[in-house]
Structure formats: structure tokens, C-alpha cells
A and B are shown apart, each in its own frame.
Chain A
Amino acid sequence: AQSVSQHNHHVILSEAASLELGCNYSYGGTVNLFWYVQYPGQHLQLLLKYFSGDPLVKGIKGFEAEFIKSKFSFNLRKPSVQWSDTAEYFCAVANAGKSTFGDGTTLTVKP
């Protein structure tokens, strides 16, 4: 069975601080990896995805994530956060028709 672990439940940062949200998954085979974001009052939307190729993937709004196969990790990063990045962030893995989400990390950015 596949599982996803997000290490931080709630992160509070000041604007311009750097962000890294941890995500580890457990599955030995080939997986597709995703980060989704849910802004207050809005539905889930895709930030970025990794299927294959360059393990460093860039997404929308300046976010990026690095796939490290040996560590089963897919951490999300942003060099300088903005107040508008306040949201809940979900890491997810998909394989063979099944998707598994982490429990999410709530990011609060103080102006």
C-alpha cells in the first residue's frame, strides 16, 4: 500500500522568508508525484507534478519541488514567500489508478 507523509502540519513564516515543505512517500514502484494547493475558499488546484525526467520540477507562482528517489521524497520549495501564498498544501502520489494524499500542511504567511 502506498502512503504519503507530510512532516509539518502548520508552518508560519514572514513574507520574503524561504519555504520548504517536506513530503515522503512509501511505494517501491513507479509513481507520479504532485503538489496541490488549496487557497482559502477555493478548490484544490495543481501546483506542480513529476512524472519522469529532470527531478527538479518547476510549478506555478515560483514553486519548485525536487524528487529524490533514494529518499522517497518530493519536497516543495519557494525562495521567497508572499502573503498570498497562505493556503493549505497537499502532497500526493498516484499509481495504477489510485491516488494517495498527505494530510496537508497549512502555511500562514504574515505580512
Chain B
Amino acid sequence: DAGVTQSPTHLIKTRGQQVTLRCSPISGHKSVSWYQQVLGQGPQFIFQYYEKEERGRGNFPDRFSARQFPNYSSELNVNALLLGDSALYLCASRLQGAGEAFFGQGTRLTVV
């Protein structure tokens, strides 16, 4: 059974550009969450989606947005990239809104 898959695995963007990161949850999981992890820190919560609706939002600027599709996959969009957006972006899926989170390997975003 496939785990959580994220694409791409690595990405290099220039300041001011826009980026879209993708996540496919475990089959049957209806909840997807996004996290940003900077070196030396724990994952910082960005969004949670459950049944295609936003159920939680962390303290991130409006440049960050996300959506969940009918097949429960999700995209995270970041506009007007800043150098400080360089980080590992993690996606986690859950069977429901609460419960154990299963993490993907992450997308390493580098903004230059």
C-alpha cells in the first residue's frame, strides 16, 4: 500500500516566483495537512483540509494557500516567494480530522 507521496522532491525557485507543491494521501485518508520545516526546528503547521474544506490554518501569510481535490489529493501554493520560504514542506494524511498523521518525505524548496 502506497504511503503519502509528495512531488516534486526538490525544487529551486527565484525570489518573487510562485510554486505549487503536490501531495497524494494514503488511500482512504480524507484529511491532509501541510507543514513547513526549517532546519533545526520542528514542523510548523500551515493548513489542514478535511473533506475538501479548510479545517485549520497556522500563522502564515496570505501568500500561502492550499486546496484539496475530490480525490483528496492536495496542493500547496506559495506566491511571491521570499528567501525565508526555503524549507522542507511536509504533507501528512490522516484517516479523519484527528488521529495519527502519516507523513510524506517532503519537498525541499530552495529560493534563491
Residue A101 is within 8 A (CB to CB) of chain B in the complex: yes
Give A9's nearest chain B residue, CB to CB: B40
Shortest CB-to-CB span from B58 to chain A, Å, is 7
Given A90-B42, A98-B56, A99-B45, A44 and B97 contact (CB-CB distance below 8 Å): no
CB contacts (< 8 Å) of A92 on chain B: these are 42
Chain A contact residues: helix, strand, loop or mixed: strand
| A26 at the B interface (CB under 8 A) | no
**A residues within 8 A CB of B42?**
4, 6, 90, 92, 101-104
Question: Is there contact, CB below 8 Å, between A45 and B40?
Answer: no
Q: Is the CB of A46 within 8 A of B44?
A: no
Known A-B contacts A44-B103, A97-B55; the reply to A103 vs B98 at CB < 8 A is: no
* Interfacial chain A residues near B92, Cβ < 8 Å: 44
Chain B residues with Cβ below 8 Å from A100 are 45
Q: Would you mind naming 23 contact pairs between A and B with Cβ atoms under 8 Å apart?
A: A6-B42, A32-B98, A32-B99, A43-B90, A43-B104, A44-B43, A44-B103, A45-B103, A46-B102, A49-B99, A49-B100, A92-B42, A94-B98, A97-B48, A97-B55, A97-B56, A99-B48, A99-B56, A100-B45, A101-B35, A103-B41, A103-B42, A104-B41
Interface residues of B in 53-112 (CB under 8 A from A): 55-58, 90, 92, 97-106
Interface status of B33 (Cβ within 8 A of chain A) = yes
- What is the size, in residues, of chain A's interface with B at 8 Å between Cβ atoms? 23
Which residues from A are CB-within-8-Å of B100? 34, 46, 49
Nearest CB in chain A to that of B50: its residue? A97
Please give me the residue from chain B that is nearest to A100 by CB atom: B45
When distances are taken between beta carbons in the complex, the residues of chain A under 8 Å from B33 are 99
| Alpha-carbon separation in the docked complex, A94 to B88 (Å) | 21
Whether the Cβ atoms of A97 and B97 lie closer than 8 Å is yes
Chain B residue nearest in CB terms to A51: B98
Most chain A beta-carbon contacts within 10 A, residue among B40, B101, B105? B101
Q: Please list the 4 inter-chain residue pairs (A to B) with the smallest Cβ-Cβ separation, ordered nearest first.
A: A97-B56, A101-B42, A97-B55, A44-B103
